[in-house]
Amino acid sequence: MKVRKPPLRSCLGCGREADKRELVRFVRTQDGEVHVDPSGKLNGRGGYVCATMQCFEAAVRKKRFATALHANLREDDVERLRREFEHTLST
C-alpha cells in the first residue's frame, strides 16, 4: 500500500514548510472577514501561520495576510485577529 505524504503548507510569517496540522489557519470568508480557523474546515481563502506570536507578528509586518487572503486588513482587524490567535494558542 502506498504511503501518503502529509499535506504541507508554508507559514506566512517565516516561510517554513510544515504539515498543515502543525500550523494555525486563517480564512477570509465569503463576506470578506478574516478569522482564525482552528478546525481548518471553514470555507474560504486560507493562509497558515506557525503557532507562535513571532510568526503572526512577522506576517502582519510583512503584509502577508493581505497578499495571501486577498483582503485589506485595517488596524482594528489586526487587533481582533491577534486576540483570536492568542486565544487559540492558549487552548
Domains for the chain: give ranges and CATH numbers: 8-90 (3.30.1230.10)
At 1 the pLDDT is 80
At 2 the pLDDT is 86
At 86 the pLDDT is 97
Task: Summarize pLDDT for 3-27 with one digit per residue, the tens.
Answer: 999 999 999 999 999 999 999 999 9
pTM of the model: 0.92
28, 72 in Cβ contact below 8 A?
no
Task: Summarize pLDDT for 36-57 with one digit per residue, the tens.
Answer: 999 999 999 999 999 999 999 9
Pseudo-torsion of CA 63, 28, 85, 50, nearest 10°? -60
At 91 the pLDDT is 85
Long-range own/partner contacts, residues 71-78 (CB < 8 A, 24 or more apart): 71/28, 71/32, 71/34, 71/45, 73/34, 77/34
